[in-house]
Chains A and B, each alone.
Chain A
Amino acid sequence: MLTRTKLLFLIGGIAICALVPPVASAAGDDFYTTLFARIMIFAIAAVSLDLILGFGGMISFGHAAYVGLGAYAVGIFSFYGINDGFLQFFVAIVGSALVALVIGAICLRTRGIYFIMITLALTQMLYFLGISLEEYGGDDGLNTDRSEFFAWFDLYEEINLYYLILGFLVACVFIMHRVINSRFGMVVRGCHANEDRMQAIGFPTFRYKLAAFVISGTMCGIAGALLANLTEFVTPEFMHWFRSGEIMIMVLVGGMGTLFGPAFGAAIYLLFEEWVPDLMEATISGTGENWHFIFGPLLVILVLFAKQGLWGLIPDRSRRDG
């Protein structure tokens, strides 16, 4: 169970997210509303990736693929003038679940290094597929309308979209909380600790791992559908393997194998991406776009010395359950 400190962080985090739009519009700067909407979308992706990465021990280097699929589900319907949000999100969910099922079934035949390389390669396949589809913009991407849910709930009101995303994030974290602490979640965590032993006890570990893979991919698909709504633009770039790497970094920064850590990791990574280039630009002009020069080595250091992530640095006796 959560310690009091972590509970405070969690409530604080949700409260900050809820308060951003009114504060930002009072300050006359809607930029932060968009930024935080983006953070929450990637928080969904990172939290769902952590289910298989941190809890399941499956190092998927391909989760940007599902984000991209969800985004294209919205984008392609919008391309044909169909903006019904229920239909779009339904297809985003079913589509990313099916693709995750196929990719998972192929990849989970292997372990270790093979698994990493294959998830990476199959993501890149979807990326190239996106580029080769000239019909839907190919390389240049596709301009997209926002989804339409109800007449009174217009997503072109930034505030409505923002709270929709927040709602999805809270729901996603809640579902993940239930999944991880369920019997199913225990089996998946058991596979991480010792798969042979789980098999010896009699669990069909392949099916459990595949189910976890599909749940994780599906949630990333939802994140993608939200992302398409936020940016009003869909591009194969969403599926580029660098994006997969970024989501993994968010998980690592926040804390692998923790439930809420990756959400904070997403916030930290995206704020870093926003602020550090500005800071560099202010220090030495012209260096702002070279922020990877600092971030790359920083990432190496982080991996070497701060493995448990920031969520793990919050004082707590029992680490794995948060």
Chain B
Amino acid sequence: MTWLLLIEQTLNGAQFGVFLFLVSAGLTLVLGIMNVVNLAHGSLFMLGAYYAATFFGLTGSFLLALVIMVPLALISGIVIEVVALRTMYDRDHMDQVLATFGLILFFNESVRLVWGPESQPMPVPDFLDGSVEILPEAPYPVFRIVVILVGLAVGAGLYLLITRTKIGMLIRAGASNRAMVGALGVNIRLLYTLVFGLGAILAGLAGMMAGPIQSVEPGMGEDMLILAFVVIVIGGIGSIRGAVIASVLIGIVEVVGRSILPFAMANFMGEDAAQTAGPAVASMLIYVLMAAVLFFKPAGLFPAQAG
């Protein structure tokens, strides 16, 4: 029975890792290429969830909601980039942090004004409802499996985009030397906007898929943002490969740690002590992991040059 629990929690962790990957993939590109700290990236996750919840509610079709959400997320991302971030590229990080912090406050409050403070209902779509038996007598929700598959597909797609296409080549070049790419006649501003828009779509997609699993509410993007930072620190700024591996790692450690650790610790310390210490240790696990990675590899596991 415990093994089934472990497998189930590992899958949940992988599925959470997919959300983390989708959020951090865009963020790591933005950080790596533009050298901009964008705290408002979590807001795009939130906006994606809200757009999807709204249009899913209106049309009753999950796929139609997806089709509407993608351009809306793209437009939101581009508007943020053009209106606010573009003026920040030459500023120091302190300015970027505070200005994008201001954007978070603005977006959380806008969402609260438009949709209200209570969380929005977003059910699992009918055609993905139900569960399959991954092992005998171990049902697992179809929706979560689909999330994992989508994550794998997006990861593979991004990898191909970055390593095999002209745009990807420019993105990689931009990450290692911005000024040189600009000097070679590439419209670096347009490239920035494109990358930012791509990141917005990915974050929005994560928000949409997170809708039926978590709750759609103001401020839902912040926790994702901070975990995405942990992912990026571990994976290395600007590295998609690093983001994939670190996301899954963090997702599994976080989810499995929280569910298993209190029980595991009860084996070699008292039941009561484990119930107290277990959650405390579990909540610190990923940060300790981050600190350990930093200690041995200050630039992350996969520094950006590797793509």
Contact = CB atoms under 8 A, between A and B. Distances in A.
Nearest to B83: A300
Given A113-B37, A296-B105, A304-B87, A59 B298 contact: no
B229 A117 contact: yes
Contact residue range for chain B?
35 or more
A213 interface: no
A297 B106 contact: yes
Contacts of B101: 245, 248-249, 299
Contacts of A252: 94, 98
Interface in A122-152: 122, 124-125, 128-129, 131-135
Interface string A245-287: 1001100100010000000000000000000000000000000
Nearest to A123: B226
B76 interface: no
Interface string B101-127: 111111111101100000000000000
A162 interface: no
A59 B97 contact: yes
B102 A298 contact: yes
B106 A292 contact: yes
Interface string B57-90: 0000000000000000000000000001001000
A113 B102 CA distance: 18
B233 A295 contact: no
Contacts, number: 122
Given A110-B294, A293-B113, A300 B233 contact: no
Contact of B226 (A124, A249, A293, A307): A124
Contacts of A53: 94
B99 A303 contact: yes
Contact of A125 (B93, B104, B284): B284
Contacts of A300: 84, 99, 102-103, 106
Contacts of A121: 226, 229-230, 233, 287, 290
A300 B106 CA distance: 10
Contacts of B283: 125, 128-129, 131-132
Contacts of B109: 290-293, 296
B259 to A, nearest CB: 13
Contact of A299 (B99, B112, B113): B99
Contacts of A129: 280, 283-284
A297 B102 contact: yes
A112 interface: yes
B37 to A, nearest CB: 6
Contacts of A172: none
A293 B109 CA distance: 5
A296 B237 contact: no
Given A114-B237, A134-B279, A297-B102, 5 more contacts: A117-B230, A117-B233, A290-B109, A300-B106, A304-B87
25 contacts: A53-B94, A59-B94, A109-B298, A116-B37, A116-B93, A118-B290, A120-B229, A121-B226, A122-B287, A122-B291, A124-B226, A133-B276, A245-B98, A248-B101, A252-B94, A252-B98, A293-B110, A293-B113, A296-B107, A299-B102, A300-B103, A303-B95, A303-B98, A303-B99, A303-B102
| Interchain residue pairs A-B with the least CB separation, the first 3 | A296-B106, A299-B102, A296-B105
